[in-house]
Amino acid sequence: MNDAALLSVEDVAVDLPTPRGNLRAVDRVDLALGAGRTLGIVGESGCGKTMLSRAILQLLPKKARLTGRVMFDGRDLARCSAEGLRKLRARSLAVVFQDPMTSLNPVLTIGTQLTETLLEHLELDASAARKRAVELLAAVGIPEPEQRLTQYPHQFSGGMRQRVAIAIALSCEPKLLIADEPTTALDVTIQAQILDLLAREQRRRHMAMILITHDLGVVAGRTDEVAVMYAGRIVERAPTPVLFKKMHMPYTEALLAAIPKLEAAPHTPLPAISGRPPDPTRPLAGCAFSPRCRYASDRCHSEKPQLAQAEARDHRYACFHPIKLAAGVDA
């Protein structure tokens, strides 16, 4: 682990009791993120990416059990008091969720919701908070911010609501922003705008960011590093350019191949990943991806591959049969 890491997730596991038995949502994950760096976490629904972000934020469901350590800015979050966590989440650890309609309070004006955090945590007075709120709305690209402050969430479009949610998240100058599928509910054109906005504010504030998505296309040009999750584990992790050029994990390859390509002729069959992820209450003995993997051998069905070091620095993968892309790639 990097000493200078702002966030370090050490051997974190999240278990949820369910009527069908224990569900291991996150399975022994290690991660580190330096200040001002961006990390993409990619995987399908149910792969544990949201649970991992909740573990970092200490916002897990009550019945969930967390093991391992989450170190943020020199503190072990699992040992923080409720009050300490509240302060931390307000000041230095912010989050933007997928659905801006449900993450904003429908009966409070945008102004009230924005100034609430400013008054409480930055201890600004009412007029300073209002001024700051206007600046924040302008910074996230909302026209006529003064008038908009008095409006309610339903008077905003989906994209505008997400901008407001981002403004609230940025209001106390956080050190880390977790964006959990921030554009999944939005149109392609609005998605591009929101991703641009996040990237711009991330650079300008030198803030670390975790971008959680199911779409590899979203993380490609916008993150320093990518972690691919499957069935609760990180199965491949690499600096973004390395991941796209020298991926070793068949799951990463399959995820990338399943995206419809604009260059492909119409009616070209898509290389879909057959089947679906395993039932998380019935963990497999071997590699969790083996039933869907075209390279799987007997060993994959019986033994779990651990994260191994690849030839490139900072590139790790969990596979017995890593793919070698294109001839000429050092193997």
* Site for another protein contains 158 (CB under 8 A): yes
Minimum separation from the CB atom of position 43 to another protein (A): 9
- Among 67, 105, 268, 309, the residue binding another protein under the rule CB under 8 A is 268
Which range, of 85-93, 100-108, 256-264, 308-316, touches another protein by CB under 8 A? Answer: 256-264
* Site for another protein contains 160 (CB under 8 A): yes
Which range, of 8-16, 121-129, 236-244, 312-320, touches another protein by CB under 8 A? Answer: 236-244
* Site for another protein contains 44 (CB under 8 A): yes
209-228 mask for another protein (x: CB under 8 A)? Answer: -----xxxxx-xxx------
- Among 62, 63, 267, 313, the residue binding another protein under the rule CB under 8 A is 267
* Site for another protein contains 149 (CB under 8 A): no
* Residue from 171, 169, 331 nearest 248 by CA: 331
Question: How big is the site for another protein, counted in residues (CB under 8 A)?
Answer: 48
Q: Is 203 helix (H, G, I), strand (E, B) or coil?
A: helix
Angle at 222 between CA 329 and CA 292, to 5 degrees: 55
* Site for another protein contains 262 (CB under 8 A): yes
DSSP state of 211: E
* Residue from 188, 244, 190 nearest 42 by CA: 244
Using CB atoms within 10 Å of the CB of residue 58, give its burial: 0 to 12 exposed, 13 to 18 middle, 19+ buried: middle
Residues 295 and 250 sit within 8 Å (Cβ to Cβ)? yes
Residues near 151 by beta carbon (within 8 Å), at least 6 away in sequence:
109, 110
Which range, of 66-74, 113-121, 262-270, 317-325, touches another protein by CB under 8 A? Answer: 262-270
Minimum separation from the CB atom of position 42 to another protein (A): 9
* Site for another protein contains 255 (CB under 8 A): yes
* Site for another protein contains 254 (CB under 8 A): yes
CA distance 315 to 309: 6
* Site for another protein contains 329 (CB under 8 A): no
Q: What helix, strand, coil percent values describe the chain, rounded to 5?
A: 35, 25, 40
Using CB atoms within 10 Å of the CB of residue 317, give its burial: 0 to 12 exposed, 13 to 18 middle, 19+ buried: buried
* 8 vs 223 by CB, closer to another protein: 223
The CA–CA distances, whole Å, from 167 to 43, 85, 103, 288 equal 27, 21, 13, 39
* Site for another protein contains 147 (CB under 8 A): no
**Where do contacts with another protein occur on this chain (CB under 8 A)?**
44-45, 157-160, 187-193, 195-196, 214-218, 220-222, 240-241, 243-245, 254-256, 258-262, 264-274, 276
